[in-house]
Amino acid sequence: MKNNDIVAFGDLLGRSIANNDKEFLDRISVRDYIIKAEIGAFQSERGKKQRIRISVVLEVELNNNLKSDDVDRIISYDTIIEAINMQLSIERINLLETFAEKIATEVLTDSRTKRVFVRVEKLDRIPGALGVEIVRASKAIGGLQSKQKLQKIAEAASVPSVILIPNSVVNSDDLSLWLDGLEKTKKPVVICVEGATNSSISSENKLAQRRIDLLEIEKNAWLLAGKDERCVVINSRTELDWAIKNGQLSIWAPSKIVLDAVDKPLSTDAIELANWFSQSISDSNITILGKKVINGHNYIKTIEDLEY
């Protein structure tokens, strides 16, 4: 059995011995690429950047056109670097395994790539390095890519409307009627709520206060869910997808998605936070229920105004 570590990351002699079959493939590599990123599942890793060392080796088809010396005929090293940087820009990543998998999936979208080796290491957690290594082949990724394309098509057809229900509506006798109307609308619905208005908890530490503000919103989300069994609290995009597919009214608990975001919202104001979330999942502004008027947002003043 071949040692894939030797095949990808060893010296030329070691690689030739380990990979002694008759199929010869060219290799393109970016090795020991060190960047700083916020990554990690532990609370102590949030809000700070640490050094990550990444090595990626692509095995590609033999290039018989090198005599032309045309850069457009080869896979550029930038392809690898862009794949790394793109994954870090999409969302905050907790696990190195997830990061490596995303890099591999991205570079294998080029049909000329036959196999990819990815090594990702944290350099600041211990005196040495903590890391993972994966190997992925184009055949293994092909089915995944097809599923992802189908998933994107399905997601485009079910982009939700983000509705902010203010406390005045949550605590009103008309709440059930509003939810009846939302349940009948043409598009899936994600409900956002304001924070509790009677909280006396505060902190002088800005990061701590941010968490408190988010938890106050989540407390109201659970209170609303407790008032009507049709409402399901969600705190991740996976849960959101499931709720949409099952036709449930989702109530957004913001902490996880906000804290995991690369481009985090600056404010924890409920309206600004809900609008940031709406822009991120549907590229549109929120709609606010009730008679409260704030410039720049859509309003539905009465239940009769809901579009079915």
* pLDDT of amino acid 61: 72
Q: Return averaged pLDDT per consecutive 10 residues of the chain, 308 residues in all.
A: 56 52 73 90 82 90 57 69 86 86 89 87 90 82 50 58 89 88 84 81 82 91 91 85 80 88 83 89 82 56 57
Chosen CATH of 158-305 out of 3.40.50.720, 1.10.150.670, 3.30.930.10, 3.40.1160.10: 3.40.1160.10
**pLDDT of res. 292:** 53
The Cα 184–Cα 187 span in angstroms is: 9
DSSP one-letter string for 249-263: EEEE--HHHHHH-SS
- The ranges assigned to domains in the chain are 4-155, 158-305
d(Cα 26, Cα 75) in Å, to the nearest integer?
Answer: 11
- For residue 27, the model assigns a pLDDT of 82
Four-way CATH pick for 4-155: 3.30.1360.20, 3.30.1130.10, 3.40.640.10, 3.90.110.10: 3.30.1130.10
CB 285 within 8 A of CB 263: no
Integer distance in angstroms from the first to the last C-alpha of the chain? 61
**How many residues appear in the chain?**
308
- Count of other CB atoms within 10 angstroms of residue 104: 23
Q: What is the pLDDT of residue 150?
A: 45
Please list, in sequence order, all residues whose beta carbon lies within 8 angstroms of the beta carbon of residue 65, skipping any fewer than 6 positions away: 73
Q: Is the Cβ–Cβ distance between 231 and 225 less than 8 Å?
A: yes
